[in-house]
A and B are shown apart, each in its own frame.
Chain A
């Protein structure tokens, strides 16, 4: 057995996790809605070999529903997180490079968005946009950019005042050159790390707002919907309706967290030599 050092282990684990997540996303998209068929003969069945996650009150297989729901959450989370990260990176760079006034405005905006609890703002935006996928994605994108913006702004500011950048500038290199050769290489890892760390938050918040009834519509098998519907049947003892879907959500979020952390320990010099 070849022994791997920490870095190699990191890459291996992250790689495997990525593959699993992609599998979920793709399989959810590929499984047609026909598989979630109402089957009144198979109602309210606890977990078994044919139905590993049990069935619900309409006889629908919970495993399929969960898989589709997870796939949806991952998809929505991806779009929302990516949008958020793009907003954050652009605003962060702008704040650090376009002068005091722009910096002041953007920082003020960051503080503003951070002073309202995420969920409250999500509810507000969902309300304003009438709920549904649009409301959720826009809401998520608009609530998660502030903290990452701060980080990127700080990074770029630090980079700008780094000696080698100053030296480069004094040697006459163009801004473009500096941006590409010096600043971008530092930002790309931050971008990736930010993306993977934002993902779990986005997914959790998406399912939360859907759970509350203001997110994805009940026609779609989103995890939040599955869980809020399960509330009605809890007292009848149908525990599998809530347990498995939530567990899957937890595992997927945890998987993204893991990748994000590993990326971070790769990138952060303080922890890189553990």
Chain B
């Protein structure tokens, strides 16, 4: 049984459009993904496609003008807003994108210590700093004084000390150099090995491929494919969705071939399969309805013609 299961999630926002009218935009449509204990699932998609919203929805911290449909199950039980409020910070934690998410007037040491759930907060914090090779002086620093790598390690340590069952990392790698990224990979692996279910939300495919067990490919507000990492090999023959294949082939170390066009915006989605306008295999049927999920060879895909 999976630790975290997201079923048919849809998130929409209400805002003002021209003049005096209000408009609802659906940003996430019928999203399905699940993570089990000890597993790392990477949700991969381009920046700004709404992936952070997924994290916020799980934690129950979406803004006021958001409306959520669908179910999220934790340990088999539905996560109501009430339960989310109880579990966040304790059993479900998030590793935020940057130090902007830390209190600018509070010392790093105290901030990490507030994440500790069991044991002596100060001792646990000093311990983890040692493990991540953060000098003792870092405790007394303020967020704005941290360099990119230090910041990453501090944020990660906050998730680690909480010993949570579900760890969601929102864009863990932007702006980091290779060594720090390697460290991050190892840390996430360790987290999973310790029993946590880890969700990595990222646009960095290479990082995802090195760290995760499963990749959920995110396009235009929904998952178009969920595949084990092993399928990402060769020329992408084992992959299922045309977008995933295109993504794989576009990588520099592969054929480095891009495809035309760009991802449609949330309020300008085409009818039917959102990838159809850019897909070389698209037919008339593709534009009729959004394809249902199909299980193929141990992975999920939304495509009428996937094999």
Contacts and interface: CB of A to CB of B under 8 A. Distances in A.
A8 B21 CA distance: 8
Interface string B158-197: 0000000000000000000000000000000000000000
A7 interface: yes
A94 B62 CA distance: 43
Contacts of B65: 273
Interface in A1-57: 5, 7-8, 11
Contacts of B16: 5, 7, 272-273
B20 interface: yes
Contacts of B20: 5, 7-8, 11
A11 B21 CA distance: 13
Contacts of A272: 16
Contacts of B140: none
A8 B19 CA distance: 9
A66 to B, nearest CB: 36
Contacts of B19: 7
Interface size class of B (residues with CB under 8 A): under 10
Contacts of A11: 20
A263 B49 CA distance: 32
A7 to B, nearest CB: 4
Interface in A241-274: 272-273
Nearest to B16: A273
Contacts of A7: 16, 19-20
Contacts of B271: none
A2 to B, nearest CB: 12
Nearest to B19: A7
B22 interface: yes
A11 B16 CA distance: 14
B56 interface: no
A60 B65 CA distance: 56
Nearest to A5: B22
A228 B65 CA distance: 51
B69 interface: no
B15 interface: yes
Nearest to B13: A273
Nearest to A10: B20
A7 B65 CA distance: 15
A209 B16 CA distance: 44
Interface in B1-60: 15-16, 19-22
Contacts of B15: 273
A266 to B, nearest CB: 10
B66 to A, nearest CB: 12
B280 to A, nearest CB: 33
A215 to B, nearest CB: 41
Nearest to A4: B20
A269 to B, nearest CB: 10
B64 to A, nearest CB: 9
Contacts of B22: 5
A55 to B, nearest CB: 47
A11 B19 CA distance: 11
Interface in A178-219: none
B27 to A, nearest CB: 15
Between A7, A8, A272, A273, the greatest number of chain B beta carbons within 10 A of the residue's beta carbon is seen for: A273
Between B15, B20, B22, the greatest number of chain A beta carbons within 10 A of the residue's beta carbon is seen for: B20
Contacts of A273: 15-16, 65
A196 B16 CA distance: 24
Interface in B233-251: none
A7 B23 CA distance: 13
A250 B19 CA distance: 32
A273 B64 CA distance: 11
A160 B175 CA distance: 28
Contacts of A5: 16, 20-22
Nearest to A7: B20
Contacts of B21: 5
B158 to A, nearest CB: 29
7 contacts: A5-B16, A5-B20, A5-B22, A7-B19, A11-B20, A272-B16, A273-B15
Interface of A: 5, 7-8, 11, 272-273
Given A5-B20, A273-B15, 11 more contacts: A5-B16, A5-B21, A5-B22, A7-B16, A7-B19, A7-B20, A8-B20, A11-B20, A272-B16, A273-B16, A273-B65
Sorted from nearest, which 6 A-B pairs have the closest CB atoms? A7-B20, A273-B15, A8-B20, A5-B22, A273-B16, A272-B16
